[in-house]
Structure 1
């Protein structure tokens, strides 16, 4: 009888204390940090043996605890009163999760379900960059300007609206390798919705010069598209020669000599052609 009573007492005393779970503020899009104070093996004394940490997208109770997802990366229980923590990973973005934990001893005797901690993960980072513009074309040019036109792409490939354009030009062909060396224009237009035709005029150019133009697109997360198609144009020479301002009617000098009895004389006469009137 005493032996049986002893067994009952050991089982009772061996029940571990329920830890109090807390979720930290520094969540990410796929993880939530949790912390708690380690309980004891026998209530608040001794060291427990194991933890059973569960999480779910629905509130956890003692009834559905075992059906919640078990997280296997929990630390080994420390001495009672020790603050312990773990980061639950592999979660879905932008989702509210509920967390609960039990403590077990070597038997194992299990504590009751802890308090329920809940936290929402952040939205997943945007890793989709805008599509490269493939429709850049030249619509006109002057001695110092070139007008470009293209069809807008999206924030995420061809979806949505991008954040900014980076338009550049160079006297030599533009490639990904030479992109940073090309001249950056200013006052680019704000991107419009994907599929919208957009125009922009580059100024400050030099006449009779060959230029190459290309662009990249950025979204609000800083993702940058690949290089667009590259267009080439030579600015024209539209400056006419200066007008002649000193035009004069030409003169022709005629001269002859006459023999007089006592001397020779030379006579010179200036002859000018009169304007032709009526074809005569």
Structure 2
């Protein structure tokens, strides 16, 4: 079932789909009305973007088996795959169906942006390798990633002009990309994760971190992981202390994601 943004206009110049691979937490439902609103607020058009075009967003709960129909794919300019508590390398039916959808989207040269689980599932779908983090288990908090010394010629990167050599991002994962797909370019890495970001041409972008997360969303998640004993109380306290001392370069990451979704390719 398709969920449509309340602000959708009757006719839009751009249309995007959020492929939601997680269920809304109690906190996110109460504070934001669900992850759909979090993503649209992060990646959608705002009044100060300098973009006068109309824009619409739909949501498909892929975690519950709700995927867009093949005949509807052409109506979208881009797709965003969210994070998830599930393993991108698992063989649940909805994950396998999502992998097939990713392959169809990439073959059609649709823009596909993957966040955390989405980054990993794109990698898997395109023939890369994904698994449990090889160093140190969970990565939760703010981590500085380093951009590749040489970046490929991509219009969405060129549109941003000067990219910083390093940028801090919010992380919350225990899986990672082991090996990027054939033909992909690794754009960023960190001391914890070798593939923090990769692209395939101008139409595929995977980011291991969470550009869309606000500090309160991460803190709520840390509390839930601690209560479920997925992480220790001392680990949770260390994350909270770090968040009091520093934060992500969120505006940079949001600008990057918007540039990817909205910069037009050359014909």
Normalized per residue, which structure has more strand? Answer: 1
Normalized per residue, which structure has more helix? Answer: 2
Select the structure of larger CA radius of gyration: 1
Global fold match (TM > 0.5):
no
Normalising by structure 2, we get a TM-score of 0.18
